[in-house]
Amino acid sequence: MDFGNVFPGAPRWLEIGVRTNGPGGTPFTTLSPRQELTPTAYAIHAEDAAAAVSVTGPINGSQITAGTITGAQLAPGTVTAANLANNTITADQLAPGAAAANLSAGGQSGVPAGGIIFSRTDNDTNLENAGYVKLGKATLGDVWVAGATNGAPVGRAGFSAVWTGSELIIWGGFSNTIYYANGARYNPETDSWTAASTIGAPSGRENHTAVWTGSEMIVWGGLGNLNTGARYNPASNTWATVTATGAPTGRYLDTAVWTGSEMIIWGGYSSTGGFLGTGGRYNPVSDSWTAVSTTGAPTARRSHTGLWTGSEMIIWGGGGGAGFVNDGGRYDPTTDTWTAVTTNGAPVGSEYNAAVWTGREMIVWGGSSGVYLNSGGIYDPVNGTWTPTSTNGAPAGRWYPSAAWTGDEMVVWGGYNNLVDFNDTFRYTPAQPLYLYQRP
């Protein structure tokens, strides 16, 4: 406790003064000795230490007598994690069962000795530092689960889909002779759908592209050699136009990815120019376009898949002049260069697939290779390897499906198989390793 603030200001003195000539006489004469008043520490005993003592500076354990302050003297919330230095409280300071009781109060339970927990992280240092011992690895199989259709858009094909981080946005597409200029948003957490505004939306179209920028969905291109588009903001449920000045040749069945600052368009088909092996980069801040290099690019194609890994765009599959293809390329916009994608172990050549990026791998699913597929493959660009996806519980084979990665699973919606315009929803969790840790 800081006692130096008891007598602030000028020093205080204990002294005796006398007048030698009585009242009205000479001024006081101070007798010696005189004593300066200073604070002296002393102890008090109080029922509530927190109420009796005001503490402004730090206190460590050596300044407190054991048992002086107990839980009864501390108001709820007085001491939080922010008030405790790392390792201040160890197992020695906890009463038997205290941690378990705290977990139980929060609806949780402790892990008893011998208990096993799972981690998605190999060599999980947090668990190892807590005393857990790694036992090994288990792999969970991939799984498909059906979702809601109530409130979903009418069944269609050739639409676009983006993932916002919390919702899947479906827009456009066609059914028979109808070209849709509408869409909806699907929330997998609530398993529900919400309609998107049509005010200011682009004209109805199919086989266009769309990307999510972090705040907007950009729709571009489409059947009829369109090189127009618009930007949709789900927060305000509004649309804004995209410039056509400097844009790539009008096309459809192309792909688009978002790099974090640009939308990259590549490939597709033009009724006047045939299969395309060109592309462009759109910057929404400047509302401007830049061409993509064609040196080392994949062969011209349409109805392929394209996605962004965080550093490059991966193009795969599609249909070209030689028919269905199962090859592709990786484009680095920083260097404006291309690298080939391996075909070893890749799925059968096909077009109109859906594809997502998981953070480590590309999942390709569905499409057509002359038959409607309900299968696909998982591509690891680091190791250059492919693994097939499960067909157990998978949706019916189709082309034109959409897909989005939620962080844990791939959400697939819609598609077409010449007999049915699907509006069903499926969620696919790929096989993933879990690491087992045991508490001694």
pLDDT in tens, 40-97: 555 444 444 444 444 445 555 555 666 666 666 677 766 766 666 666 676 667 676 6
Query: Quick check: is 272 in a domain?
Result: yes
- Separation between Cα atoms, residue 376 and residue 361, nearest integer Å: 13
Query: For tokens 């999980």, what's the residue?
Result: 124
Instruction: Specify the pLDDT at position 144.
Output: 75
pLDDT in tens, 284-338: 999 999 999 999 999 999 999 999 999 999 999 999 988 999 999 999 999 999 9
Strand partners, 124: none
Query: Quick check: is 335 in a domain?
Result: yes
Query: Quick check: is 431 in a domain?
Result: yes
3 state SS of 282: strand
CATH of the domain at 215: 2.120.10.80
- Separation between Cα atoms, residue 251 and residue 255, nearest integer Å: 10
Tell me the whole-structure pTM to 2 decimals: 0.61
**Can you give the residue range of the structural domain that contains 246?**
143-437
pLDDT over 70, % of the chain: 76
When mean pLDDT is compared over 76-90, 193-207, 416-430, the highest value belongs to: 193-207
Query: Quick check: is 304 in a domain?
Result: yes
- Residue 397's CB is within 10 A of a number of other CB atoms, namely 17
Count of the separate structural domains present in the chain: 1
Long-range pairs of 385-391 with CB within 8 A, sequence gap ≥ 24: 385/342, 385/344, 385/345, 386/342, 386/344, 386/345, 386/346, 386/347, 387/345, 388/347, 389/142, 389/363, 389/365, 389/428, 389/430, 390/141, 390/142, 390/143, 390/144, 390/431
Query: Quick check: is 176 in a domain?
Result: yes
3 state SS of 50: helix
Query: Quick check: is 62 in a domain?
Result: no
CA angle 16-17-21, nearest 5°?
145
Closest CA to 327 of 297, 360, 368, 288: 297
β-bridge pairing 263-266 and 255-258: antiparallel
Query: Quick check: is 201 in a domain?
Result: yes
Q: How confident is the model at residue 117 (pLDDT cuts 50, 70, 90)?
A: confident
More confidently predicted of 103 and 389: 389
Mean pLDDT for all residues in the chain:
83
Query: Quick check: is 27 in a domain?
Result: no
Contact 162, 155 (CB under 8 A): no
